[in-house]
Amino acid sequence: MPIDSNAQAIAAVVGLLVFSAWETFKPFFSFFKDRGRDRGKHFVLNLAIGAFNSVAITLVFVGLWALAANWAGQNNIGLINSFRGNVPAAVTFVVAILGFDLWTYSWHRINHVVGFFWRFHRVHHSDNKMDVSTASRFHIGEIVLSSLLRVPVIVILGATLWELVLYETLMFAVVQFHHANIVIPDRLDRFLRVFIVTPAMHKVHHSRVQPETDSNFSAFLSIWDRIGRSFRMRKDLDEIHFGLVGYDDPESQSIAGIAKTPIRKLDS
């Protein structure tokens, strides 16, 4: 199945526009009430980081992922390649989705457990005004590590590049949704989080209270937190404080401060 190379970028831009408009008219937290300039700076910072990371992925890793997928396919290596052609394409796609998403959950959890990886992942959690732009805020070191580790995942799964791109497109749409600073009815959130990660779930994950930070690691499908016993909720979502202690100062929230975050002491 051919993939439009621009489809993923278009989907991300559409998601950004939709959720940023939603945040404008129906925000959950009033971070930027009457402070449009501050909101603009916050957006530009996070999106600049995301754009830099996207360019790095495109230039360095997409070709590597394609080589890994083609090699696995040509040599009939990997789980999906063991039955590809004998089942409908929809089945292989579902298996790919589940496989990639399980890896994403596992990788995210590792980032919270292993100190070396947490040094980089802190950049994402240090945002004390989480909104849709936070979905793009990751240190380039974390992007490089996760992109390299995705190579053996592609081979083990036996997934094609288009299956990876479709998964990434769907997953990032949900990631934008659950980072967005939006109000949705509680009943709808409860229904949706049976299947996918929701804003209520992810607000808990971005709490600066460590037991809450170390929960709700799923990115797309919420089932992994239930299986991994890392699912956690609280009723007073409006009392949650985002970010990390010691990272609220302007320097820590600057491009330079974000770049240097991995070399800061882990207890700072």
SS3 255: helix
For residue 46, give the nearest of 142, 171, 141, 131 by alpha carbon: 131
pTM assigned to the model = 0.95
- 58-79 pLDDT, tens digit each: 999 999 999 999 999 999 999 9
User: What is the pLDDT confidence band of residue 2, given thresholds at 50, 70 and 90?
Assistant: very low
- Mean pLDDT score, 154-168: 96
For residue 114, give the nearest of 262, 221, 268 by alpha carbon: 262
Q: Report the b/e string of 87-126 with b at 16+ CB within 10 A.
A: eeeeebbebbbbbbbbbbbebbbebbeeeebbbbbbbbbb
Greater model confidence, 198 or 32: 198
For residues 161 and 89, give the distance between their C-alpha atoms in angstroms, rounded to a whole number.
14
CB of 78 within 8 A of CB of 70? no
For residues 212 and 237, give the distance between their C-alpha atoms in angstroms, rounded to a whole number.
12
CB of 31 within 8 A of CB of 43? no
DSSP string covering 35-89: -HHHHHHHHHHHHHHHHHHHHHIIIIIHHHHHHHHHHHHHTT-STGGGTBTTB-H
Give the CA distances from residue 84 to residues 68, 94, 96, 164, in Å, rounded to whole numbers and listed in that order.
Answer: 17, 12, 11, 15
Q: Given a cut of 80, is residue 88 above it in pLDDT?
A: yes
For residues 181 and 132, give the distance between their C-alpha atoms in angstroms, rounded to a whole number.
7
Number of Cβ within 10 Å of residue 158's Cβ equals 24
Greater model confidence, 9 or 268: 9
Q: Given a cut of 90, is residue 4 above it in pLDDT?
A: no
Domain range annotation of the chain: 7-263
For residues 250 and 118, give the distance between their C-alpha atoms in angstroms, rounded to a whole number.
21
- 207-261 pLDDT, tens digit each: 999 999 999 999 999 999 999 999 999 999 999 999 999 999 999 999 999 999 9
For residues 142 and 113, give the distance between their C-alpha atoms in angstroms, rounded to a whole number.
14
Per cent of the chain over pLDDT 70 is 97
What integer pLDDT is reported at residue 1 of this predicted model? 40
Give the CA distances from residue 192 to residues 18, 186, 198, 231, 245, in Å, rounded to whole numbers and listed in that order.
Answer: 18, 10, 7, 14, 31
- 92-129 pLDDT, tens digit each: 999 999 999 999 999 999 999 999 999 999 999 999 99
- 21-62 pLDDT, tens digit each: 999 999 999 998 888 899 999 999 999 999 999 999 999 999
